[in-house]
Amino acid sequence: MPSTTRTFIAVSVPEALAARLRRLQQQLSGELPGVRLSVIPPFHVTLAFLGDVDHVDLADVCRAAAAEAANFGKFELKLEGLGVFPNAARPRVLWAGVTGPGLDTLCALQSALAGAAARLKYPTDGKPFHPHVTLGRFLPRRGADPAGERALTQALNRYKTWHAGPFPVTEAVTFASTQTPDGAAYAPLGRAPLAARKPGAPP
């Protein structure tokens, strides 16, 4: 049996907004045939990807996430807009954007969780944080695909004003990720509730 679990910490999207994301996926599936859509719940905003964590460390990871989250009050985010990583000419990931009044708090929470993971010897990749919800991944292209790039650019323009509305963020969740034939499946390992900020705690 494996002695590690692929692990990440994230904010889950509530079901009411997840239903709107699934409708968006259905609309895009006819316009972007080269995308393999994410079908296994929950939709989420990844804050810290730890990779393969030793089983003996999982409880420490969950405790550290809970300790960091307790320093932050609850906040609100919005889902709006459509984008790709890295760009329309070489797309790999299709995503819905994350905005809203709580964006600065989300970024501070992400930094705190990444720092806690690094102290446990599970550093994140160090790339700039770009909050998003993954909708799907593009199948590898063979050579240039002007028609595909044109269709993608048109879709990005068409859905740039798409929005699913606001949602409250009340906790972060440590997830296990397991690969299946349909993609990654997620199981919660620990919950990290947000609370009123403690006196003297970092913003």
Active site residue 44: yes
User: How far is residue 32's CA from residue 151's CA, in Å, rounded to a whole number?
Assistant: 7
- Burial label for 101, CB within 10 Å (0-12, 13-18, 19+), is exposed
Contact 48, 161 (CB under 8 A): no
- Burial label for 94, CB within 10 Å (0-12, 13-18, 19+), is buried
Active site residue 55: no
Active site residues: 44, 132
